[in-house]
Amino acid sequence: MAGHSKWANIQHRKGRQDKLRAKLFSKMSKEITVAAKMGDPDVDKNPRLRLAVKEAKQNSVPKEVIERAINKAVGGDAESYDEIRYEGYGPNGVAIIVEAMTDNRNRTASNVRSTFTKNGGNLGETGSVGFMFDRKGQIVYPASVGDEDTVMMAALEAGAEDVQSDEGAHVVYCAATDLNDVSTALEKALGEAESTKLVWLPNMQTELDLDGLTKLMKLVETLEDDDDVQSVTTNVEASDAVMAAYAGS
């Protein structure tokens, strides 16, 4: 996951932040409702719900929106969503994982397939690219929370597997099943994180030039604009020069 910070901010530098924020609130609300419906509506008794609420708060989702999403599940009037993972290839063979929550599988599958096809990609079977990623817990802290050694020691004591630090952030990785415990322990040691969530971490990467990156990001952004899509992950790698050129384009 080289260059976490530059990837984390690339779309925001492209001026999509406001557009994405409204969709982000909606997608996080859906995750909260599903987590509450599948498990206990009590945050303290439901690790998935606790993480969903924590991530929502870290992204400034209003308290009333969070409460409404939980109450929707408790009241029994929540839509029934299926969780689906799509896998495929983007331009130049970049591996892509798309996670969706939908109340209409046929609609979502048709939209995702069409988006891949129209943007130089190819939707594959489940498992076609999954081997190129590992499921991990990811906790992000700002660089200001402490130096690299301090964060590394706190993370290892909390049960994390790895920490990647740069001038912008400390990114802590742990086993997916340990995310709740590790994030709780780190919160006591370092305070509240900027982000706490499950991610697909590439174990092999595909490098792109500026033209390839531009085409890929168009595909990713179109997928993210779909209301059924919760997240899009790629295994792309690009040089600092290519990233800078894309950000400035």
Per-residue pLDDT tens over the stretch 219-243:
999 999 999 999 999 999 888 898 8
Please give the model's pTM, rounded to 2 decimal places: 0.86
Helix residue ranges, H only, the chain: 4-13, 17-38, 47-58, 63-74, 105-118, 148-158, 179-190, 210-224, 240-247
Percent of the chain scoring above 90 in pLDDT: 66
Query: pLDDT tens digits for 30-59?
Result: 999 999 888 888 988 888 899 999 989 988
- For 11, the token pair is 């779309």
Bridge partners, 84 (sequence order): 100
204 forms beta bridges with none
CA dist 14 and 246 (Å) reads 9
In the numeric block, which tokens belong to residue 241? 């020069």
Interatomic CA distance for residues 84 and 67, integer angstroms: 25
DSSP letters along 17-62, please? HHHHHHHHHHHHHHHHHHHHHHS-SSGGG-HHHHHHHHHHHHTT--
Cα 150 to Cα 146: distance, rounded to the nearest angstrom: 6
- Average pLDDT of the segment spanning 56-67: 91
SS3 91: helix
Please give the Cα distance from 33 to 15 (Å, whole number): 29
CA distances from 178 to 61, 85, 109, 136, 138 (A): 25, 22, 31, 9, 10
Read off the pLDDT of residues 88-108 as tens digits, 9 standing for 90 and up.
999 999 999 999 999 999 999
15, amino acid identity: G
Please report, rounded to a whole number, the percentage of residues in the chain having pLDDT higher than 70.
Answer: 91
Q: Which long-range contacts (CB under 8 A, 24 or more apart) does 36-41 make?
A: 36/69, 36/70, 36/72, 36/73, 36/74, 37/73, 37/78, 41/70, 41/73, 41/74
- In the chain, the amino acid numbered 186 is L
SS3 173: strand
Q: Which two tokens stand for residue 119?
A: 């943007």
Domains present along the chain, CATH in parentheses: 15-75 (1.10.10.200), 82-131+205-248 (3.30.70.980), 132-202 (3.30.70.980)
| pLDDT classification of 9: cutoffs 50, 70, 90 | very low
Distance of CA 169 to the CA centre of its chain: 16
Give the model's pLDDT for residue 29: 92
Are 175 and 15 in contact by the 8 Å Cβ rule? The answer is: no
When the pLDDT of each residue in the chain is averaged and rounded to a whole number, the result is 88
